[in-house]
Structure 1
Amino acid sequence: MHTTQTTSTPTPVTTIPAALSLEARLAAVEAAMTVALDEAAVAYEVRTAHIPVDPVDPVDLADVVTVPLTPTLQPPAPYASPVAALLQRAHQRLLTDGWCAGSQIREDGARCLYGAIRVEAAGDRSLEARGLEVLMDAIRADFSDVDSVPAFNDRWTDGRVPMRILGQAAALADDRSQ
Structure 2
Amino acid sequence: MKTATAHAPAASPPRPLSFDDRLALAALAVDARTDTAPFDLADVIRVPADSPQPAAPSPYSSPIADLLHRARIRLETAGWCRTALHDESGAVCPIRAIRLEARGRRDLADDACIALLAAIQRDFPTAETIPSWNAQQSSPAPVLLALDNAARHAATHNQ
- Cα distance in 2 between the residues matched to 1:119 and 1:167: 17
**Structure 1 segment 121-160 matched on structure 2, within 5 A:** 121-160=102-141
> What's the counterpart of residue 15 of structure 2?
none
What is the CA–CA distance in structure 2 between the aligned matches of 1:145 and 1:73, rounded to whole Å? 39
Letter in 2 for 1:164: L
Task: State the alpha-carbon separation in 1 of the partners of residues 110 and 82 from structure 2.
Answer: 20
Identity of counterpart residues, as a percentage?
Answer: 35
Partner SS, residue 101 of structure 1: coil
Quote the offset at 1:76 in angstroms.
Answer: 4.6
**Matched residues in 2 for 1:175 and 1:92: separation?**
20
* TM-score, scaled to structure 1: 0.57
Contact 1:73–1:96 under 8 Å retained in 2: no
The aligned residue for residue 93 of structure 1 is 74
Write out the 4+ residue segments of structure 1 that deviate beyond 3 Å after TM superposition. 72-77
Letter in 2 for 1:169: A
Matched letter for residue 127 of structure 2: V
Show the 5 A alignment for 1:26-41. Answer: none
> How far, CA to CA, are the matches of 2:105 and 2:129 in structure 1?
20
Question: Which residue identity does 1:148 align to in structure 2?
Answer: T
Aligned-partner SS, 2:92: coil
1:49-128 matched pairs, under 5 angstroms: 75-78=55-58, 79-128=60-109
The structure with the largest alpha-carbon Rg is 2
Distance 2:127 2:120 in 1: 8
Gaps of 5+ in 1: 1-69
- Determine which of 141, 146, 165 is the counterpart of 2:146: 165
Letter in 2 for 1:132: C
> In the TM superposition, what is the alpha-carbon distance from 1:119 to its structure 2 partner?
0.8
Per-residue deviation, 1:75: 3.9
TM-score, structure 2 length as denominator?
0.64
Count of paired positions:
108
CA offset at residue 77 of structure 1?
3.5
